[in-house]
């Protein structure tokens, strides 16, 4: 299905499949997928759309490292029955978030449900920012606002932390002093436990060392016997050449044994039974164990970390005034910066109000509301992510009737006209090359529908416009006319779309006016309606 330039109208019976087309375009533009979009009995669904004349989007493609295939881009979306979804631009994979950003540049879909948004403050502010072209300024403001919010949260957290620490200062000081006086050393626990084990078995160790020393020193001891073996090996070397190696190895063993003998003698001299030293070690270990239990840790080295942490917290309390003043100063400076950007943003928004109000009233008058009055009220409010402005669209359709909030006074047909006028104004300022109106004409008919169609025609002079409508007055204004209908193919019902010829358009518009039983009068009226466009 190919849509041409200018205004293209799409008609069809309720349930013919127009919503399927809208849903498909929404998926192409990055909306979240639902497995219900997959035909029953199939395991996947593939949607594809080609957008041409995209020269203005070259910077977007380059900024996001997307392949730019002049003069068009092909978007493909693949949905699987298992819930997985993939998207491609010119056959290159793309994230759903980036696809949504690209989709916003390619096509703006306005559904009839969007009319309900017109009464929401957030939507009105978004419309005003679009018309004021203040997106860059809003982004800069938000950076400063989020920086202020972070500094404010940091200040609150610091105040709370300092208050809690101040309550515990005496106890923390006691804990720190106790650990400080313990003169803790890294690795001390293992060293003491090893020394304690030696002292607890001092008699056994002493006896063993003495026995070893005796075995070395005896006349028939280890070294004496080894010397005898070495002498025998020396004699055998004359007759057994391989004995040279054995003799050399035995000499090495003797040297090693003498070293061992000296070590054993030294250990024996140093070994002693010292109950006082054992008591001192046990006392020290008991202190370490008690401290570990008090501070709920499993190792003496952890106590050092706890001591240092307590020291840092006590120092923070001592420097609380300085830290608090610095945090307050930073918060105040952040707020000042946010207010500066908020003021610039507000000034930018307010600067377009006269032109916006004049444009809206002019367009509304052309849409059959000669006494319409449209105002935008901006009040100051506490800073939030959107600035310091509370925006409210005010409207009155009748003469000498004070303007009120749109939600309080506007009818369905009036809201449709208001939304179309806003969309027309936004379209003039937007770089989006295509607009889709889904039954924006809800609640209007007759001459008003005719005038709405003229406004759409005007919008379509500078960009592509697709309009789904049930009104013959709007359908007749289309440069191109597409009909959506259902047909039975075997056991399946298929939705189809057909571009109508001039003759087919006459019949379709006649049906829109009179139903399936088309009279000659209806055909004549349809022909007259088309020829007047």
pLDDT tens digits, residue range 35-88?
Answer: 777 887 788 889 999 998 888 888 888 888 888 877 788 999 998 888 888 999
- Tell me the helices (H) and strands (E) count for the chain, helix number first: 20, 13
Give helix 300-318 / helix 320-351 axis angle, nearest 10°: 60
- The residue assigned the tokens 């072209």 is 133
Is pLDDT at 465 greater than 80 in this prediction? yes
Alpha helices in 297-403 (DSSP H): 300-318, 320-351, 353-366
Q: Say how far apart CA 125 and CA 141 lie, in whole Å.
A: 15
Question: Quick one: tokens of 497?
Answer: 């779309």
Is pLDDT at 455 greater than 70 in this prediction? yes
- The burial of 379, by beta-carbon neighbours within 10 Å (0-12 exposed, 13-18 middle, 19 or more buried), is given as exposed
Helix (H) or strand (E) holding 157: helix 135-167
Peptide bond into 349 cis (omega under 30): no
Residues facing residue 424 across a β-bridge: none
Angle in degrees, CA 357, 360, 366, rounded to 5: 140
Query: Coil, helix or strand for 32?
Result: coil
Query: Coil, helix or strand for 406?
Result: helix
Q: In this structure, how many other beta carbons lie within 10 angstroms of the beta carbon of residue 332?
A: 14
- The residue assigned the tokens 């391989």 is 242
pLDDT value at residue 112: 67
Tell me the longest C-alpha to C-alpha distance in the chain: 142
Q: Which of 475, 462, 532, 473 is nearest to 504 (CA)?
A: 475
Query: One fold for both 1-10+432-533 and 30-106?
Result: yes
Q: How far is CA 515 from the centre of its chain?
A: 51
- The residue assigned the tokens 């070397």 is 237
pLDDT value at residue 336: 97
| In the chain, domain spans | 1-10+432-533, 30-106, 169-318
Q: Report CA-CA distances (Å) from 435 to 104, 119, 322, 410, 438.
A: 10, 22, 58, 24, 10
Q: Which of 142, 26, 7, 147 is nearest to 75 (CA)?
A: 26
DSSP structure string for 162-182: HHHHHHTHHHHHHHHHHHHHT
Cβ distance 311 to 184 under 8 Å? no
Segment 423-451 shows an average pLDDT of 82
77-91, 99-113, 145-159, 378-392, range with the lowest pLDDT: 99-113
Q: Say how far apart CA 77 and CA 382 lie, in whole Å.
A: 43
CATH architecture of 1-10+432-533: 3-Layer(aba) Sandwich (3.40)
Question: Quick one: tokens of 74?
Answer: 């092909």
Higher local confidence (pLDDT), 439 or 269:
439
In sequence order, which residues have a C-beta less than 8 Å from that of residue 240 and are 6 or more positions away?
none
Is pLDDT at 9 greater than 80 in this prediction? yes
Q: In this structure, how many other beta carbons lie within 10 angstroms of the beta carbon of residue 318?
A: 11
Give the tens place of pLDDT for each residue, 334-347: 999 999 999 999 99
Is pLDDT at 447 greater than 90 in this prediction? no
User: Does the domain at residues 30-106 carry the CATH identifier 3.40.50.300?
Assistant: yes
pLDDT value at residue 533: 64
Q: What pLDDT band is residue 151 in, cutting at 50, 70 and 90?
A: very high
pLDDT value at residue 363: 92
Cβ distance 462 to 477 under 8 Å? no
Q: Which of 464, 419, 484 is nearest to 107 (CA)?
A: 464
pLDDT value at residue 48: 94
Q: Which of 337, 380, 345 is nearest to 145 (CA)?
A: 337
Cβ distance 302 to 292 under 8 Å? yes
Higher local confidence (pLDDT), 522 or 352:
352
Q: Which of 424, 386, 387, 392 is nearest to 405 (CA)?
A: 392
């Amino acid at each position: 299905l190919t849509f041409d330039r200018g205004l293209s109208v799409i008609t069809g019976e309720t349930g013919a499949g127009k919503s399927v087309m809208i849903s498909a375009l929404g998926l192409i533009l990055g909306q979240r997928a639902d497995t219900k979009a997959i035909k029953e009995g199939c395991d996947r669904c593939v949607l594809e759309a080609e957008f041409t004349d995209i020269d203005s989007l070259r910077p977007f493609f380059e900024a996001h490292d997307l392949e730019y295939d002049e003069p068009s881009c092909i978007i493909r979306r693949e949905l699987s029955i298992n819930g997985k979804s993939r998207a491609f631009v010119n056959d290159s994979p793309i994230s759903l978030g980036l696809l949504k950003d690209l989709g916003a540049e390619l096509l703006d879909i306005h559904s009839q449900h969007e009319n309900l948004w017109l009464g929401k403050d957030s939507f009105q502010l978004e419309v005003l920012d679009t018309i004021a072209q203040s997106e860059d300024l809003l982004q800069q403001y938000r950076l400063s606002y989020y920086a202020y919010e972070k500094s404010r949260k940091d200040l609150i957290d610091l105040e709370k932390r300092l208050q809690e620490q101040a309550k515990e200062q005496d106890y923390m000081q006691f804990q720190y002093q106790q650990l400080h006086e313990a003169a803790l050393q890294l690795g001390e626990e293992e060293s003491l436990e090893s020394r304690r084990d030696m002292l607890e078995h001092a008699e056994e160790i002493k006896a063993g060392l003495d026995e070893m020393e005796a075995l070395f020193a005896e006349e028939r001891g280890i070294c004496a016997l080894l010397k005898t073996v070495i002498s025998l090996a020396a004699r055998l070397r004359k007759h057994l050449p391989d004995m040279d190696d054995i003799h050399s190895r035995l000499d090495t063993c003797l040297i090693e044994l003498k070293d061992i003998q000296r070590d054993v003698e030294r250990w024996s001299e140093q070994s002693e039974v010292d109950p006082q030293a054992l008591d001192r070690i046990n006392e020290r270990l008991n202190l370490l164990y008690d401290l570990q239990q008090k501070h709920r840790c499993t190792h003496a080295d952890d106590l050092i970390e706890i001591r240092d942490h307590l020291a840092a917290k006590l120092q923070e309390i001592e420097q609380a005034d300085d830290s608090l003043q610095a945090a307050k100063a930073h918060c105040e400076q952040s707020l000042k910066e946010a207010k500066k950007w908020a003021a610039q943003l507000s000034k930018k928004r307010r600067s377009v109000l006269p032109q916006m109000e004049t444009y809206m009233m002019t367009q509304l008058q052309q849409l059959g509301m000669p006494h319409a009055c449209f105002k935008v009220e901006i009040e100051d409010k506490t800073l939030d992510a959107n600035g310091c402005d509370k925006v409210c669209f005010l409207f009155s359709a009748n003469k000498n009737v004070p303007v009120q909030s749109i939600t309080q006074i506007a009818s369905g047909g009036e809201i449709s006209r208001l939304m179309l006028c806003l969309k027309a104004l936004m379209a003039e300022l937007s770089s989006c090359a295509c607009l889709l109106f889904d039954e924006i004409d809800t609640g209007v008919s007759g001459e008003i529908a005719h005038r709405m169609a003229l406004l759409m025609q005007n919008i379509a002079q500078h960009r592509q416009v697709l309009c789904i409508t049930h009104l013959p007055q709007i359908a007749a204004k289309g440069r191109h006319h597409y009909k959506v209908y259902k047909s039975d193919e075997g056991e399946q019902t298929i939705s189809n779309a057909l571009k109508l010829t001039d003759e087919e358009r006459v019949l379709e518009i006649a049906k829109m006016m009179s139903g399936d039983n088309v009279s000659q009068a209806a055909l004549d009226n349809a022909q007259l309606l088309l020829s007047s466009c």
